[in-house]
Amino acid sequence: MLQGIRKLFGGRSAEHVTTELVPGAVSTGPLVRLEGVTKTFVVDRVETRALSSVDLAVERGEFVAVNGPSGSGKSTLLSIVGLLDTPSAGTYHLNGFDVAGLGAKSRAALRNREVGFIFQSFNLIGDLTVRENVELPLTYQGMSATDRRERVDATLARFELAEIAGRYPSALSGGHQQRVGVARAVVGAPRLLLADEPTGNLSSRQAEAVIEMLQELHRGGATILLVSHDPRWRGVAGRAVELFDGSVVAS
Ligand code: ADP
Ligand code: MG
């Protein structure tokens, strides 16, 4: 798990890549554009088609919710949009750039710079403090220690985490852990925020707080793609996309 999370922020060796690959010149049109995206997993020669010919565009500043029953492909969709996985067929343009040709290092660098993730299980690193968890994406971006300190201080203050900056995740409530998760997701000022069931492990009061945080980020201009069963998100997102058996059935 720990390694998986570290991998999520990996790719520091190619930190120069995003400015080259995603220049201002292509930053028109939707931020996310999937066309005919299909994803097939093969396990022990058994094929599972997790996504079937999905078309999806997310405009800059949009807040889109993806709904659908368990197993309908929601997490697979987020993994592809978040550059954690690649489509079996179809195309994906992020910020106008076709990501298909990227090697693993460039993908990691692009992900690290452009995408923030918020997870149901928080996925904080247990042997790092709150401050260190929030700092991690900046470290992997290759930011200098002075700039990191400034950015982390501002982010901890913004999310009311300064007082608990020295604590470890295991000493925190789920609500606080997710607050750290949101802070970590946005500290690097990513273009795109992805959230997979972010309130799935929270009490109703804690969930409300997370919903408010994302609403606030959206009001500030963030582009958000959210997956959730939680009916409390209804009316928060500007638009809902319905997945069923790997296909978009309503939008
Ligand atoms: P959801 O998030 O909507 O519950 P998922 O995207 O996790 O759905 O899964 C969609 C389908 O793809 C399911 O049938 C699931 O078992 C399968 N699947 C997802 N990830 C993998 C994987 N890494 N290997 C094999 N099958 C997978
Ligand atoms: Mg899922």
The DSSP string of 14-35 is: GTTHHHHHS-GGG--S-SEEEE
Q: Which ligand gives the minimal distance to the CA of 243? A: 1
pLDDT the model gives residue 20: 44
Question: What is the average pLDDT value for the chain, to the nearest integer?
Answer: 90
Q: Is 61 helix (H, G, I), strand (E, B) or coil?
A: coil
pLDDT the model gives residue 234: 81
Q: Is residue 117 scored above 90 in pLDDT?
A: yes
CB 170 within 8 A of CB 124: no
Which segments of the chain are extended strands (E)? 32-43, 46-58, 63-67, 89-94, 97-98, 115-119, 192-196, 223-227, 239-244, 247-250
Q: Is residue 149 scored above 60 in pLDDT?
A: yes
Give the residue whose CA is nearest to atom 15 of ligand 1: 71
Q: What does the pLDDT average to over 70-76?
A: 96
212 lines ligand 1 (CB under 6 A): no
The first and second tokens of residue 60, run together, are 């800059």
| Percentages of the chain per state (helix, strand, coil), in multiples of 5 | 40, 25, 35
Distance 70 CA to ligand 2 centre (A): 7
| Structure confidence by residue, pLDDT tens digits, 23-36 | 444 567 999 999 99
- Distance, CA of 111 to CA of 14 (rounded, Å): 11
- Distance, CA of 138 to CA of 148 (rounded, Å): 6
Q: Is residue 196 scored above 50 in pLDDT?
A: yes
Give the residue whose CA is nearest to atom 7 of ligand 1: 75
pTM score above 0.85: yes
Give Cα 174 to chain centroid, integer Å. Answer: 19
- At residue 8 the predicted structure's pLDDT band, cuts being 50, 70 and 90, is low
- At residue 11 the predicted structure's pLDDT band, cuts being 50, 70 and 90, is very low
CB 61 within 8 A of CB 223: yes
Sign of CA dihedral 178, 2, 107, 72: negative
Query: Which of 37, 44, 48, 70 for a ligand 1 pocket mutation test, highest count of atoms within 8 Å of Cβ?
Result: 48
Q: Give the Å distances, CA to CA, from 49 to 20, 37, 79, 86, 111.
A: 34, 11, 15, 14, 24
Q: Is residue 22 scored above 80 in pLDDT?
A: no
Q: Is residue 129 scored above 70 in pLDDT?
A: yes
pLDDT the model gives residue 18: 42
Q: Is residue 16 scored above 60 in pLDDT?
A: no
Q: Which ligand gives the minimal distance to the CA of 50? A: 1
Distance 41 CA to ligand 1 centre (A): 8
72 lines ligand 1 (CB under 6 A): yes
200 lines ligand 1 (CB under 6 A): no
The first and second tokens of residue 115, run together, are 């995408």
Distance 20 CA to ligand 1 centre (A): 33
Q: Is residue 169 scored above 80 in pLDDT?
A: yes
By residue count, the chain amounts to 251
- Distance, CA of 222 to CA of 215 (rounded, Å): 9
Query: Pairing between strand 192-196 and 115-119?
Result: parallel
Q: What does the pLDDT average to over 66-86?
A: 96
Q: What does the pLDDT average to over 42-64?
A: 96
At residue 223's C-alpha, the angle toward residues 153 and 232, to 5°, is 95
Distance 46 CA to ligand 2 centre (A): 20
Q: What does the pLDDT average to over 5-9?
A: 50
CB 137 within 8 A of CB 112: yes
- Distance, CA of 210 to CA of 96 (rounded, Å): 30
